[in-house]
A and B are shown apart, each in its own frame.
Chain A
């Protein structure tokens, strides 16, 4: 029986339970830390280490199986579907925070300012509050702050991410054309641009906290700004790590033009992160 018409079903899997244990230790540690318990940070680090070991072990196992030709086309389709719907779930996660931004800007903040049938509420609760955006609310939570402009670092970051999308596609063309040099250079450029993006984002955060008075605690503007850009930045980091692994595997000589699911998945993920940023740039920074 040739491998191309078989569906590989592993009999035993030890990594899932290890990963679960790591995740639970990490989260229980974080919860303990938030509750002020001194054991929290230790548990978090320990759990994270277990989790990293799991990721490394599981992915090494999978790429080894893939390289030894154990996966048929049909298995590849399962993986592609898995990645596709995982990205869809991520889109829904970001949708929550975009929705929150929309709701507060267009509905609840104007209502606090007395719009619609809320005039009496405003008079009774916060008569002095004038609805505007950006705002830290009628309680001026977090004190005076400046909002983040769009056309400095954020615009530069937009160009950086768009370029990284191009370099990622260029690397893919290299892979398809069996041009190893182009593949590796393209991936190095993509990872490098990703890291540059994160660096600029860090500089922007530093500026916000030290010079602009803009923090996570700056009312609803600070909350939505840091939640959206923060989760996005985290996803850029994850994407860069994934692309880094793909780069390492390319350098080791993995991937064929007809068989390179890991590359495809990483590229999809990168483009998803890219598109989220475009949404962020428009709705958080520009408008």
Chain B
């Protein structure tokens, strides 16, 4: 199926002028830019909330905020980071890169693409507005468990409708990505020649379409339980609060893979370029991604080992969860094997990618520890779980998003970023992120519960160290902001080639286009495609 752009609007070939360009744009690069900048802004908003949390936990006792606001901060930090920063950042990358990687002119459904972005903004604004409401923002944790969440003040319906909007936005984005990948590929681009980033996003899009309606259904039942006298989560009426947890985690577990699968995709794109070798085990990477996605649907209750499930349930979810280590292990070994005997160089994107492989593996191992049901009874709701999922999100998803930024900024802008500041950013981040999260393992094993503003005196030392790491990490990210702005404004002044990185055009199609690329990526489909990534 070949795609050739039709220019029907002969009076105006370019984008609209001024601010309006960004509001009514249908161009995949414009929309990708909007997504990425919005995600970056939300990264700092969510980060500011994390700074409030770490400041409060710097010492035992209550010093800066009252406990209810502290709980709002943990809740909003999670919601903003998941739905406002990490997911939109990956959708932004998908918008920018997928059409260029598969040889297409644009996304398959450009108008819906625009709506999907603005619904995201609307959803996050609705969520943020709850901070100013009577009774405060939701303070139940991002999982919104009843009956606790039903005690939220005026914020509750706003938070619920925000979830609906974010869900519609994600579903639209996912449908668009699936239609683009299936329908817009250059004729030579067969499925098993697609870059790994495209593959991982294809699978992620299926996850999104399957789970976002489930989350929407769960919060709809919260809404009717609160305002329309239903008894879904009330045992007195024959319902069950644990039912909410089952539904939430049926969404929630695939949801965390929505944030990690595109991460794998970007890592599989960057590592071969800087190792100057083809990706080791391309097809096993594809099958491992699909296997992880499938398993993500049948392991959800490992988040609920302590709720009183039947013993058969505990055992099933324990063993099923441990199975995930197999395809994930395949990936980690493949990345390692890709680097083995490669002619490696260590530019900033590669540094972040290598740190990802090491630190994500650590997060994976703590996950394996918690998959063991009897052991999880000790770790449940402690700082150990906080350390675990932050290792899989911050030095994994966030690091890879940074890597993607450094990797593709020269392509997007036509300018080179400042490598020295990039490396400084990397080392500050990589060291401080471990000072921030590694001590939280010790705190959790010693029994410090999560989501509390105050703690017993024996946890003081590690909390202080963790907070110091947090402040350094937070401050270091301003360097990234500086680099992004600086690169857009001209960077080092060095004019980059189409290829940017040595031999990159052997790996993927986007490097065959000029830097910055033309407004419509491929107006006629490319006839030959690079296959070095396979």
Per-residue CB proximity of B169-206 to A under 8 Å, as 1/0? 00100111011101110000000000000000000000
Which residues, 313 to 348 on B, are CB-close (under 8 Å) to A? none
Q: Which residues of A contact B121 (CB under 8 A)?
A: 20
Interface centre among B16, B164, B184, B235 (most CB of A within 10 A): B235
B interface majority secondary structure: helix
Q: Which of B106, B115, B221, B229 contacts A9 (CB 8 A)?
A: B106
Q: Which residues of A contact B6 (CB under 8 A)?
A: 1, 3, 6-9, 70, 72
A223–B213 alpha-carbon span in the complex (Å) = 19
Chain A, residue nearest B232 (CB) = A223
Q: Which residues of B contact A265 (CB under 8 A)?
A: none
Q: Which of B114, B183, B223 contacts A17 (CB 8 A)?
A: B114
Per-residue CB proximity of B200-217 to A under 8 Å, as 1/0? 000000000111111011
Stretch at the interface among B237-245, B391-399, B471-479, B496-504: B237-245
B183 near A77: Cβ-Cβ < 8 Å? yes
**B224 interface contact, C-beta 8 A:** yes
Stretch at the interface among A149-157, A178-186, A189-197, A214-222: A214-222
Q: Which residues of B contact A215 (CB under 8 A)?
A: 229
Q: Which of A10, A20, A23, A142 contacts B229 (CB 8 A)?
A: A142
A208–B217 alpha-carbon span in the complex (Å) = 24
B111 near A10: Cβ-Cβ < 8 Å? yes
Q: Which residues of B contact A93 (CB under 8 A)?
A: 213-214, 216-217
Chain B, residue nearest A81 (CB) = B179
CB distance from A199 to the nearest CB of B (A): 23
A11 near B15: Cβ-Cβ < 8 Å? yes
Which residues, 66 to 106 on B, are CB-close (under 8 Å) to A? 105-106
Interface size on A, residues (CB 8 A): 75
Which residues, 213 to 259 on B, are CB-close (under 8 Å) to A? 213-214, 216-218, 221, 223-224, 227-232, 234-240, 242-243, 246-247
Chain A, residue nearest B226 (CB) = A34
**A210 interface contact, C-beta 8 A:** no
Q: Which of B112, B114, B171, B240 contacts A104 (CB 8 A)?
A: B240
**A198 interface contact, C-beta 8 A:** no
Q: Which of B8, B122, B157, B227 contacts A70 (CB 8 A)?
A: B8
B243 near A100: Cβ-Cβ < 8 Å? yes
**A177 interface contact, C-beta 8 A:** no
Interface centre among B106, B180, B236, B520 (most CB of A within 10 A): B236
A9–B3 alpha-carbon span in the complex (Å) = 11
CB distance from A264 to the nearest CB of B (A): 16
Which residues, 52 to 66 on B, are CB-close (under 8 Å) to A? none
Q: Which of A9, A16, A77 contacts B112 (CB 8 A)?
A: A16
A78 near B179: Cβ-Cβ < 8 Å? yes
Chain A, residue nearest B121 (CB) = A20
Per-residue CB proximity of A80-118 to B under 8 Å, as 1/0? 011001101110110111011001100111011000110
Q: Which residues of B contact A24 (CB under 8 A)?
A: 122, 125-126, 165
CB distance from B74 to the nearest CB of A (A): 23
B183 near A27: Cβ-Cβ < 8 Å? no
Q: Which of B25, B180, B182, B236 contacts A12 (CB 8 A)?
A: B25
Q: Which residues of A contact B240 (CB under 8 A)?
A: 103-104, 107-108, 111
Known contacts A88-B209, A116-B310: A11-B158 contact under CB 8 Å: no
**A237 interface contact, C-beta 8 A:** no
Known contacts A3-B6, A9-B110, A103-B243: A16-B232 contact under CB 8 Å: no
Interface centre among B114, B126, B160, B174 (most CB of A within 10 A): B114
Q: Which residues of B contact A19 (CB under 8 A)?
A: 115
Q: Which residues of B contact A31 (CB under 8 A)?
A: 157-158, 160-161
B126 near A14: Cβ-Cβ < 8 Å? no
Per-residue CB proximity of B1-27 to A under 8 Å, as 1/0? 111111011001101100000011111
A182–B275 alpha-carbon span in the complex (Å) = 65
Contacts A/B (CB < 8 Å), 5 sampled: A11-B9, A74-B1, A74-B3, A82-B175, A97-B217
> Which residues of A are in contact with B by a Cβ distance under 8 Å?
1, 3, 5-17, 19-21, 23-24, 27-28, 30-31, 34-35, 58, 70, 72, 74, 77-79, 81-82, 85-86, 88-90, 92-93, 95-97, 99-100, 103-104, 107-109, 111-112, 116-117, 125, 135-139, 141-142, 215-217, 219-224, 226-227
Q: 5 other contacts beyond A16-B118, A141-B231, A215-B229, with CB at 8 A cut-off? A: A11-B9, A27-B161, A70-B6, A112-B238, A216-B224
